Amino acid sequence: MSDKLKELLTSGALWSFELGQQEKFIEQTYTSGANELTELESVQSLISKLPLLLPMQTPPVTLKDTVARKLYRYSEEERAKRMEAEQIISQKTLPVKPEEKLVLPNEVREEIIPENDQSPIEKEEIIEETKEVASVTGDSLDFIKVEAEEIPEKVQPTVPEKIEGVTEPVVITKPAPLKDSGGVPLKNKLKEFSYTPYSEKLLQLNSRKKGGKLGWIIPLLIFIAAIVAIYFIYNHFTKKISVYEKEVDRLKKESVNTSIQSSDDSTVREILTSKDVAVVNLNGSEADRDGIGKLILSLDMNKAVFQYSNMPAMEPGKIFILWVTEEGKFYSMGIIDPSLRKTFYPVSFPALTFRNVVRFILTAETNQYAKSPEGLIYLEGTL
């Protein structure tokens, strides 16, 4: 490997390049050969051991809370994003748009109508053309003229009351088809017929037609009723589903709260069963006399839990911090976030000398990284 390449790998591993050069380095190296990558990896592995040269420092106890808060916020954001995406998907798939009438744009219509048909068709033009055809072919078009003929007056047929002259011998001479299939003589059948005038027949036909229309209306009504019923059933189920989804969300939250509660309870149990336990009562200060706090400490385990009640509502942008002070020095025991609604808040407890009185105070702060109490004191107590 060339010296120049080694230089590049060293600078890249240390990110001692400017941003643009580093970008180029990343793109080139990660697509280069295995030798270069192995060299880069070994340099990175070596320089990552350099922090071991530094004297080790303990991170502040609040760091874990800060990390936990960031993770919680991130997971909430992710959840909100997921729900938003699910809503968009459901909005896209559920409603069906009614069919719209197809309206052709003008340019499309122009394309469909042939050029020679662009002008409106006039009645006179058709007549003229017909005449022209007749003159060319020599055909007479007179046959299409229909002269009005006189319609003879309707003569109402009369049915004789009695058929006279029909005797048995005449019936015998008639051919067999005059009898119906059941062998009933036609004469008897004829007796059942009656004449119905045309006007009455017309009325009967009209009434039948009306009956026919009703025959269409009923299925149509049934169809509409079915659609309305489906709509109501769909609405009903959609509402039910949304109620169930809300219920599931509520149960999930409850389950998270329960798990938090159970981990808090185990901390309390752990503290209470330790060798050296102390309980400090914290009373309301001038800022709020009604507040009460209780701090349960395990002096051998350096662990503690804090409980409070009757505290005023927290102003927006402020948080409670629990402090312990000994010999003029302040130590933050942790942030008390009322929005978490915990029964017990696990807090850290630094190793103290206990040579003098140890005082505990709860203050409202605007800066979660405050190194000493700056805000109003709400609760105070001593050990």
Partner 1 sequence: MVTEKEFTDSELLHKVAQRDSKALESLYNRYSALLFTLTKRMLADNQKAEETLANVFLIIWKKASFFKTGSNNAYSWILTLTRNKILDTLRREKNTISIPYDDSYEDKFIIPPSLSYDDKVSLNDIDKSKEKITAAMNKLTDAQRYVIELAYFEGLTENEIATQLNIPLLTVQLKLKTAIASLMDNFNKEGRE
The nearer residue to partner 1, 75 or 281, going by C-beta atoms, is 75
Instruction: For residue 360, count other CB atoms closer than 10 A to its CB.
Output: 24
- Taking CB under 8 A as the rule, does residue 24 contact partner 1? no
* Residues contacting partner 1: total by CB under 8 A: 47
How far is CA 8 from its chain centroid? 51
Q: How far is the CB of 246 from partner 1 (least distance, A)?
A: 25
- Taking CB under 8 A as the rule, does residue 53 contact partner 1? yes
Per CB under 8 A, the list member of 1, 28, 35, 70 interacting with partner 1 is 70
The residues near 140 (Cβ < 8 Å, ≥ 6 apart) are 134
- Taking CB under 8 A as the rule, does residue 224 contact partner 1? no
Ranges within 1-20 binding partner 1 (CB under 8 A): 3, 6-7, 10-11, 13-19
Structure tokens at 346: 């696990």
Per CB under 8 A, the list member of 32, 45, 281, 302 interacting with partner 1 is 45
Task: Return the DSSP state at 32.
Answer: S
Per CB under 8 A, the list member of 38, 343, 366, 372 interacting with partner 1 is 38
- Taking CB under 8 A as the rule, does residue 55 contact partner 1? yes
Detail the DSSP E strand segments found in 299-349.
Answer: 303-309, 319-326, 329-336, 345-348
Alpha helices in the chain (DSSP H): 3-14, 19-30, 34-47, 62-93, 106-112, 123-137, 168-173, 186-192, 198-272
CB 321 within 8 A of CB 373: yes
- Taking CB under 8 A as the rule, does residue 63 contact partner 1? yes
Instruction: For residue 87, count other CB atoms closer than 10 A to its CB.
Output: 10
**The residue type at 247:** E
The nearer residue to partner 1, 37 or 376, going by C-beta atoms, is 37
**x-or-dash string of contact with partner 1, 343-372, rule CB under 8 A:** --------------------------x---
- Choose the stretch contacting partner 1; rule: CB under 8 A; options: 44-52, 140-148, 252-260, 341-349: 44-52
d(CA 287, CA 377): 7
Q: How far is the CB of 7 from partner 1 (least distance, A)?
A: 4
Alpha carbon distance, N-terminus to C-terminus of the chain: 68
Q: How far is the CB of 284 from partner 1 (least distance, A)?
A: 31
- Taking CB under 8 A as the rule, does residue 48 contact partner 1? yes
The nearer residue to partner 1, 12 or 375, going by C-beta atoms, is 12
CB 307 within 8 A of CB 344: yes
- Choose the stretch contacting partner 1; rule: CB under 8 A; options: 68-76, 80-88, 147-155, 336-344: 68-76
* Half-sphere CA count of 176, side-chain side, radius 13 A: 3
Q: How far is the CB of 268 from partner 1 (least distance, A)?
A: 19
CB 324 within 8 A of CB 353: no
- Taking CB under 8 A as the rule, does residue 301 contact partner 1? no
Q: Site residues (CB under 8 A) for partner 1? A: 3, 6-7, 10-11, 13-19, 22-23, 26, 30, 37-38, 41-60, 62-64, 66-67, 70-71, 74, 369
